[in-house]
A = this chain, B = another copy of it.
Amino acid sequence: MANRAKATIFDIAREAGVSKSTVSLVLQGSGLIRPETTSKVRKAIEDVGYVYNRGAANLRKAHSNVIGMVINDLTNPFFAELAVGMERVFQSAGIVPFIANTAENPVRQEEVLKSLMEQGVAGLIVSPARGTTPGAFRRIETAGVPVVFAMRRLPESRIPVIAPDNHRGAYLAAAHLIGKGHRRLVFFGGSSDLVVYHERLGGFREACETLGIAARDILIVEGETSRKGGIACLETALAMAEPPTAALCFNDAVAFGAMLALRKRGLEPGADFAVVGFDDVVEAEHYMPALTSVAVDSAGLGERAAHVMLKMIQSRTTRAEDHIGAVNLVVRESCGPDRRTRSRPAGSGNAA
């Protein structure tokens, strides 16, 4: 089976006793070919161990069938979920998405994007790396390749975005905390080079302000968006002269870190200090205590992004509407009982 040099449609043609054009037609599933001829060709294809050369085909064909998916952090299950959601819809459209990881590195992202473009992708779904420069996608835009951003956006870009309603999610979470009786709140993690950060922080601020929290009781501690960052944030917060009693965290990883740090200090997350996460990754439910978090349905957003992309490709446009996905607060145990029913007000249980 199969000699050294790779087989082409000419080899198939010879084997089946037809012309290369006929083979090409069969390959494309054209109905013009007589059934017996078709099966003769099919057999020859098997016999010579043929593998279709999509590169050659794309030289003539208008459109390729590959879509690139550029993700900033594959090890974050949140983004992996996003990828999985996209794959679901592409699969049913007969498209194979290729995933590439940028590890939150703009330089790497540049390489990855370049490579994907050279490969002739039909479209790109991107969760841009932190620190992506504004012009990073100009080349791609002028090439007319459709791009959609997922989860994250760039400051002043015209590229359509599929993302959760970060502002509202943060608002809901903060409102929940305030409803529980907390009066001095902190926002943990993230940094201002991320648009998402501003959205979430904005929601947090708005809730605090409209629900009567004094400006001096609205705290912010920036930090890495990881467990480690969460630990650091908590240490910083508890070292304050007047520590907060509740934290809304930039994402679940930060929340896990904060809970861990709490435990290390002998404090019980929920009872002694309230923690809310963001994203609602699968582990949130299984943590001890289970983490209250803002669910964003990343797989659903992935599906949405894929649909938008499909439509853009089909209608040969590079424009599309943004889509802001609904969020909802999943209340679990990390915020403890209602504080207003307790005798001692905020600040209790803060023994180091």
- Which residues of A come within 8 Å of B, CB atoms? 1-2, 4, 6, 49, 51-56, 58-59, 66, 74-75, 77, 80-81, 83-84, 87, 91, 96-101, 103, 108, 111-112, 115-120, 139, 142-144, 227, 256, 260, 263, 282-283, 286-288
Assess A101 versus B75: contact at CB under 8 Å? Given A55-B120, A66-B119, A115-B96: no
Instruction: Report yes or no: B142 in contact with A2, Cβ–Cβ below 8 A.
Output: yes
Question: Once the chains bind, are B115 and A103 in contact (CB under 8 Å)?
Answer: no
Q: Which residues of B contact A97 (CB under 8 A)?
A: 100
Complex contact A84–B80 (CB within 8 A): no
From B2, B83, B119, contact of A54 by CB (8 A): B119
Of listed A51, A52, A256, residue having the most chain B CB within 10 A: A51
Question: Which residues of B sit under 8 angstroms from A103, Cβ to Cβ?
Answer: 84, 87
Q: Which A-B residue pairs are the 10 nearest by beta carbons?
A: A55-B55, A98-B98, A96-B115, A99-B99, A54-B118, A288-B288, A2-B142, A75-B80, A52-B118, A74-B80
Q: How far is the CA of A66 from the CA of B112 in the complex (A)?
A: 11
Q: Are A55 and B58 in contact (CB under 8 A)?
A: yes
Residues on the B chain within 8 Å of A66, using CB: 115, 119
Query: Which residues of the partner chain B approach A84 to less than 8 Å between Cβ atoms?
Result: 74-75, 101, 103
Copies of this chain per assembly: 2
In the complex, the answer to whether A143 meets B51 with C-beta atoms within 8 Å is yes
Please, which residue of chain B has its CB at the minimum distance from the CB of A52? B118
Please name all residues of chain B whose beta carbon is closer than 8 Å to the beta carbon of A283 when the two chains form the complex.
283
A323 to B21, CA, bound (A): 46
| Chain B hits for A54, CB < 8 A | 55, 118-120
Partner of A74, one of B51, B74, B100: B74
Q: Verify B98–A256 contact, CB threshold 8 A.
A: no
Are A142 and B1 in contact, with the CB atoms below 8 A?
yes
Are B98 and A100 within 8 A (Cβ)? yes
Q: Are B96 and A99 within 8 A (Cβ)?
A: no
Contacts of A286 in B (CB 8 A): 227, 256, 260
CB pair B118 A51 closer than 8 Å = yes
Q: Which residues of B contact A288 (CB under 8 A)?
A: 263, 287-288
The answer to whether B52 touches A55 (Cβ under 8 A) is no
Kindly state the separation between the CA atoms of A185 and B288 in the bound complex, as whole angstroms: 26
**Cβ-defined contact, B119 with A55, below 8 A:** yes
Additional pairs, 12, CB under 8 Å, beyond known A55-B59, A96-B116: A1-B142, A51-B117, A53-B118, A54-B119, A55-B56, A84-B103, A87-B101, A87-B103, A96-B111, A98-B100, A119-B119, A260-B286
